[in-house]
Amino acid sequence: MSAMHDPQGRLAENIVYFARALRAAGIPLGPGAVLDALAAVRAAGVGGKEDFYWTLHAVLVKRHEHSVLFDQAFKIFFRKRGYLERLIAMMSPEATGAPPQAEQPMASQRVLDALFAGAEKIEREKQEIELDARLTVSDREVLEKKDFAQMTAAEIAAAKDAIKRMVLGFDNVKTRRLTPHPHGHRIDLRRTLRASMKAGGAIIDLQYRGPKTKLPPIVALLDISGSMSQYTRLFLHFLHAMTDTRKRVSTFLFGTRLTNVSRALKEKDPDEALAACSASVLDWSGGTRIATSFAVFNKQWSRRVLTQGAVVLLFTDGLERDPDARLEFEIDRLHRSCRRLVWLNPLLRFSGFEAKARGIKVMLPHVDELRPIHNLESMRELCQALSVKGGLETDPKTWLRRVA
C-alpha cells in the first residue's frame, strides 16, 4: 500500500516531522514522545482540529512555557501544508470540526527558524517576522551580540583553570528528612529490629537516625549592563563551574530585561554554555533597570526558584540610573523571599569605595552581606564564605556607617 492511501503511515510521518520541528524550536522531545503522540491520536479517534491540537499538546508539551512554541509551530506546520483537514478526513468518517480559533500573534523567530531552515518559499513571511521582532525591542537596548572572544587566549585559559580548581563551600542545611546516623536523636525501629533479628532476637541493639543535610539551591542574578561588561564573561564562567558541581543553581541575567539562562549553563562545555547564553540574551551591555528586573524576578520567578532555603547571589555594581521607591520595595521583597542575600559588587575593589550612589544606599540595608568580586582571589573568598556566616567586614551596615 502506498503512503497516500495509508492514513496511519501518513500520520506517523507527519508527527515525526512535526516533533522534529518542535525539537528544533527548543522543546526537548525523545523518540518515545512520537510513539506516545501516535498512540494518543489513535486513542482519541480525532474528530476535529481542536481535538487533534489538544491531543498532541497533552503528549508533546511538558512545560507551560512550551505551550506558546507548540501553538505557533502547530499553526504554521499544518497551515502551510494546508493539510490538517485532509489528514483528519482520512482518519475519521466525520466531517471536520470548527475553523481554527482567533488569530494568534505572529510566531516567534525561533519557531520559524526551526520549521523553515533552508526553505526559500517562506522568505517573505520570515522578513515580516524580523521586522516585527525589531519593533518589540525597546530603543534603549543595544541589540549587539556580545563577542565572547575579546579576552586573550592566555587569559581565558588561566581564568578557566583557576575557576575549575575552586572548591565550593559546603553550606549544608538541615532538612526534615532523616537518615541513619550513629549519634542521631531518634531511634530507627526498622534497623533496630532487623539488627536484632540477625542476632537471634535476644539482644536489642538500638540504631539511630539523625537529620539529613543538603546543599541549598543557589540563585544568581547577574547584571550584564554596560558598566559591568568587563566582568560578565568571567562571572559566567564562575557560574558555569558552580552549575557543574552543584545540583540546583539557577542563573538569571539582567540589563534592561530579565533572561533565565539556567538551562544554557547546564551544557558541560563552558564555551558551548556561554555561547548558548549569549544567543538567548538581547540586552548585552545596554542600560540597567534594576528595579524593573527585580520586579519581574519577584513576580514570575521567586515563587518558583526561591523555595527550600535558597541563597541569592546578586552580581551588580548597583549603579541604577533612576533609583526610586520601587527599587527599595523590590529589593525588600527579594530579601524576604530568600534565606540569604549576598551582594557581590566589583566596585568594592577600589579602596576608596563609599556607598554614596543612591541606588547602592537604597539596596544596602536589604542585603545580608556585601562582598567584593573583581578577581580570582575574591571569587575564592566567596567560595569559602558560602560555608560560614558573614563577619563584620561584609556586614552592609559597616559601609552605611562609613558614609553617614
Partner 1 sequence: MRGMTQKTYPVPGSIDDTLKLLAAANYLADRSLATVLFLALKMGRPIFLEGEAGVGKTEIAKVLASTLGRRLIRLQCYEGLDVASSVYEWNYAAQMIAIRAAEAEGEHDRKRIEHDVFSERFLIKRPLLQALEPDPAGAPVLLIDELDRSDEAFEAFLLEVLADFQVTIPELGTIKAAHPPIVVITSNRTREIHDALKRRCLYHWVGYPTAPRELEIVRAKVPGISKKLSEQVVGFVQALRKQDLFKSPGVAESLDWATALGELDAVALDPATVSDTLGVLLKYQDDIARLEGGKVKELLDQVQAELRAAE
In the complex, the residues that contact partner 1 under the rule CB under 8 A are 28, 30, 32-33, 39-40, 43-45, 47, 50-51, 54-55, 57-59, 61-64, 67, 175-178, 189-190, 192-193, 196-197, 200-202, 214, 247, 298-299, 303-305, 307-308, 329
Q: How far is the CB of 265 from partner 1 (least distance, A)?
A: 15
Q: Which is nearer to partner 1, 50 or 125 (CB)?
A: 50
Q: How far is the CB of 267 from partner 1 (least distance, A)?
A: 16
Q: How far is the CB of 204 from partner 1 (least distance, A)?
A: 8
SS3 of the chain: helix, strand, coil, percent, to 5 = 55, 10, 35
Q: Which is nearer to partner 1, 119 or 173 (CB)?
A: 173
Under a CB-based contact definition with an 8 Å cutoff, are residues 270 and 240 in contact?
yes
68: its cell numbers: 506558546
Under a CB-based contact definition with an 8 Å cutoff, are residues 73 and 56 in contact?
no
Q: How far is the CB of 218 from partner 1 (least distance, A)?
A: 13
Give residue 135's region: left, alpha or beta (phi > 0; psi -120 to 50).
Answer: alpha
What is the three-class DSSP state of 264?
A: helix
- Closest by CA to 159, choosing from 220, 273, 238, is 238
Longest distance between any two alpha carbons in the chain, whole Å: 86
Q: Which is nearer to partner 1, 99 or 201 (CB)?
A: 201
Q: How far is the CB of 304 from partner 1 (least distance, A)?
A: 6
Q: How far is the CB of 160 from partner 1 (least distance, A)?
A: 29
366/45 Cα distance (integer angstroms): 58
Q: How far is the CB of 95 from partner 1 (least distance, A)?
A: 15
368/390 Cα distance (integer angstroms): 8
Q: Which is nearer to partner 1, 32 or 352 (CB)?
A: 32
Cα–Cα distances (Å) from 97 to 48, 52, 93, in that order, read 4, 10, 12
Q: Where are the beta strands (DSSP E) in 142-217?
A: 173-180, 186-187, 208-214
Q: How far is the CB of 133 from partner 1 (least distance, A)?
A: 25
337/329 Cα distance (integer angstroms): 13
Cα–Cα distances (Å) from 222 to 15, 34, 98, 142, 345, in that order, read 40, 38, 48, 17, 11
Q: Which is nearer to partner 1, 169 or 309 (CB)?
A: 309
Q: Which is nearer to partner 1, 116 or 301 (CB)?
A: 301
387: its cell numbers: 560555608
369/388 Cα distance (integer angstroms): 12
Q: How far is the CB of 163 from partner 1 (least distance, A)?
A: 26
165/246 Cα distance (integer angstroms): 14
Under a CB-based contact definition with an 8 Å cutoff, are residues 148 and 233 in contact?
yes
Sheet holding 173-180, edge to edge: 173-180, 208-214, 186-187
Q: Which is nearer to partner 1, 56 or 319 (CB)?
A: 56
Q: Which is nearer to partner 1, 160 or 326 (CB)?
A: 326
45/7 Cα distance (integer angstroms): 13
Q: Which is nearer to partner 1, 80 or 248 (CB)?
A: 248
Q: How far is the CB of 197 from partner 1 (least distance, A)?
A: 5
Q: How far is the CB of 175 from partner 1 (least distance, A)?
A: 6
Using a 10 angstrom Cβ sphere, with 0-12 exposed, 13-18 middle and 19 or more buried, the burial of residue 285 is: middle
Q: Which is nearer to partner 1, 268 or 304 (CB)?
A: 304
Residue 254 identity: F
Q: Which is nearer to partner 1, 166 or 276 (CB)?
A: 276
Cα–Cα distances (Å) from 214 to 178, 248, 317, in that order, read 11, 11, 31
